[in-house]
């Protein structure tokens, strides 16, 4: 029997809305006790002074990208999972746009076999199954077969441009009992835009991507949901007008959930003045009003969850002109400390709000039960020290790629340990 006693840790439980200081005893991978004080720990317990640290449910990422298979120089499954673990994630959900795509039961089985061959235990890796063959947006996959292969739900991770195909997918989706995640973006309206259209895009001299490239297909999708009743998850919400459409949809009782990415909450287009290619994102960073609306929507619950959308690229791929660089940045190891400093330390959000949007709410968007902090349950936990300082470098990151605008900068806050329902593991 192995036991760990975390003394006087700050316990965050979004499910019970509690934020308190307590002693937490974990024995053989289960939470044995949570008490204000446990004066008599088991004789063999590893006692840790956790004053100033935070213990909460394990973080859950809704969607991120892997290089493997196809682009292992960007990221392997091993490096991806080590990065997730270092960032406090106990569940990581992989988008299907690998090479080849995750669009058949055989590709899902390959992924599961690859993970079974891993020499060490790592966080739970889940995957979305593609909606269309090769995530090309042209031909529907064999949805029923794929649904039975162990996927968590369906998502291309790319915008669907064929409205009739989208309607058919929503109709079939009614009987599959799996989440469907969609990204609303009209590629023709977006054109060659690489930043959000507005005054700042003109100052920057970069082609603008108008907000209506997101809001027009979003409005159309919400009309489809209102007619068909198929629940959907709306990915990568990035504009103030999208927030308005979401607020109205939820007020009407439509079965929708939504997420935005962590970088769209932290930054807006004014950061692009550096022309750092790691700030080239898709959708692009919003104007200041967009960022303000997104932050308010998270606090109000209009946006349910914060996604990482970890997108690794090599140094060579990103070391080009801003407009020519591939869109995306890494984030699994950085999201929690940077969000904590920006929103919790500043008092803009409560600690429970941030932790809920990174843990229990993403689980619900995946139609999964959230982790609980209750005596007797299997431990799926993250221990976080918000005061520990470190510098973001390729050497301190576990990800194989380092395409982040915070590279070389100091950051405060680091995950100390994670546990999940299958095992206890140290970062």
324 φ, ψ (degrees, to nearest 5): -95, -10
Q: β-strand 124-129 against 153-154: which pairing, if any? A: parallel
CA distance 341 to 319: 29
The per-residue pLDDT for 421 is: 66
Residues, the chain, total? 427
CA distance 383 to 417: 5
Residues 206-258: tens digit of each pLDDT:
999 999 999 999 999 999 999 999 999 999 999 999 999 999 999 999 999 99
Q: Which of 91, 55, 64 is nearest to 368 (CA)?
A: 91
Burial of 299 (0-12, 13-18, 19+ CB in 10 A): middle
- Exposed e or buried b per residue across 344-382, where buried means at least 16 C-beta atoms within 10 angstroms of its C-beta: beeeebebbbbbbbbbbbbbbbbebebbbbeeeebbbbb
Q: What is the pTM of this model?
A: 0.96
Query: What distances in angstroms separate CA 167 from CA 30, 160, 220, one per listed residue?
Result: 45, 11, 11
**Beta carbons within 8 Å of 306's beta carbon, 6+ residues apart:** 259, 260, 261, 262, 265, 298, 335, 339, 354, 357, 358, 362
The residues assigned a catalytic role are 309
Q: Which of 88, 8, 80 is nearest to 49 (CA)?
A: 8
**Beta carbons within 8 Å of 185's beta carbon, 6+ residues apart:** 159, 213, 214, 217, 236, 282, 283
Residues 384-424: tens digit of each pLDDT:
999 999 999 999 999 999 999 999 999 999 999 999 865 44
Task: Yes or no: say if 332 and 347 are a contact pair by the CB < 8 Å rule.
Answer: no
Write the class of the CATH domain 3-54+376-387+412-426: mainly beta
In this prediction, the residues of the chain whose per-residue pLDDT falls under 70 are 119-121, 421-427
Q: Which of 109, 226, 130, 119 is nearest to 178 (CA)?
A: 130
The DSSP output letter for 351 is H
Task: Yes or no: say if 354 and 108 are a contact pair by the CB < 8 Å rule.
Answer: no
CA distance 108 to 103: 8
Which stretch of DSSP H or E encloses residue 411?
A: strand 410-420
Instruction: Say how many CA atoms lie within 13 Å of 32 toward its Cβ.
Output: 16
Task: Yes or no: say if 53 and 416 are a contact pair by the CB < 8 Å rule.
Answer: yes
Q: β-strand 3-13 against 18-27: which pairing, if any? A: antiparallel
Task: Yes or no: say if 359 and 56 are a contact pair by the CB < 8 Å rule.
Answer: yes
Strand boundaries in 176-310, DSSP class E: 181-183, 195-196, 208-209, 232-235, 256-261, 305-307
Start and end residues for every CATH 3.20.20.140 domain found in the chain: 58-365
The per-residue pLDDT for 426 is: 35
Q: β-strand 30-35 against 18-27: which pairing, if any? A: antiparallel
Q: Work out whether the CA dihedral 157, 160, 165, 169 comes out positive or negative.
A: positive
Q: Is the peptide bond before 199 cis (omega within 30 degrees of 0)?
A: no
Task: Yes or no: say if 163 and 216 are a contact pair by the CB < 8 Å rule.
Answer: no
Q: Which of 62, 88, 92 is nearest to 80 (CA)?
A: 92
User: Regarding the domain delimited by 58-365, which CATH topology (the fold level of the hierarchy) does it fall under?
Assistant: TIM Barrel (3.20.20)
Start and end residues for every CATH 2.30.40.10 domain found in the chain: 3-54+376-387+412-426
CA distance 242 to 186: 14
């Amino acid at each position: 029997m192995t036991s760990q006693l975390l003394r006087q840790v700050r316990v965050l439980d979004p499910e019970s809305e509690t934020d308190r200081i307590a002693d937490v005893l974990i024995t053989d991978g289960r939470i044995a006790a949570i008490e204000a004080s446990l004066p008599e720990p088991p004789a063999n317990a590893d006692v840790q002074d956790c004053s100033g640290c935070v213990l909460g449910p394990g973080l859950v990422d809704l969607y991120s990208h892997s290089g493997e298979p196809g682009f292992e120089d960007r990221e392997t499954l091993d490096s991806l999972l080590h990065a997730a673990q270092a960032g406090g994630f106990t569940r990581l959900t992989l988008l299907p746009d690998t090479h080849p795509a995750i669009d058949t039961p055989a590709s899902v089985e390959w992924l599961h076999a690859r993970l079974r061959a891993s020499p060490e235990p790592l966080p739970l890796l889940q995957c979305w199954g593609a909606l269309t063959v090769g995530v090309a947006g042209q031909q529907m996959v064999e949805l029923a077969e794929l649904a039975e292969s162990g996927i968590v739900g369906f998502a291309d991770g790319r915008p669907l441009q064929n409205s009739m195909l989208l309607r058919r997918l929503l109709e079939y989706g009614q009987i599959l009992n799996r989440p469907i995640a969609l990204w609303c973006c009209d590629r023709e309206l977006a054109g060659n835009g690489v930043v959000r259209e507005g005054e700042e895009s003109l100052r920057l001299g970069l082609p603008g991507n108008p907000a209506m490239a997101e809001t027009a297909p979003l409005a159309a999708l919400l009309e489809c949901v209102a007619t068909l009743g198929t629940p959907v998850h709306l990915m990568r919400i990035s504009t103030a007008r999208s927030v308005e459409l979401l607020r109205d949809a939820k007020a009407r009782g439509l079965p929708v959930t939504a997420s935005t990415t962590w970088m769209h909450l932290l930054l807006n287009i004014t950061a692009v003045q550096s022309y750092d290619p790691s700030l080239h994102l898709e959708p692009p960073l919003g104007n200041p009003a967009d960022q303000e609306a997104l932050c308010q929507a998270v606090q109000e619950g209009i946006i349910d969850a914060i996604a990482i959308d970890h997108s690794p690229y090599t140094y060579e791929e990103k070391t080009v002109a801003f407009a020519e660089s591939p869109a995306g940045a890494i984030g699994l190891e950085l999201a929690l400390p940077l969000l904590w400093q920006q929103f919790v330390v500043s008092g803009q959000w409560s600690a429970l709000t941030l932790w809920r949007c990174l843990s229990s709410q993403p689980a619900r968007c995946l139609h999964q039960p959230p982790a609980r902090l209750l005596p007797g349950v299997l431990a799926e936990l993250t221990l976080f020290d918000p005061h520990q300082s470190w510098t973001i470098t390729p050497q301190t990151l576990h990800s194989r790629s380092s395409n982040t605008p915070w590279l070389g900068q100091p950051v405060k806050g680091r995950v100390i340990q994670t546990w999940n329902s299958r095992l206890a593991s140290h970062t």
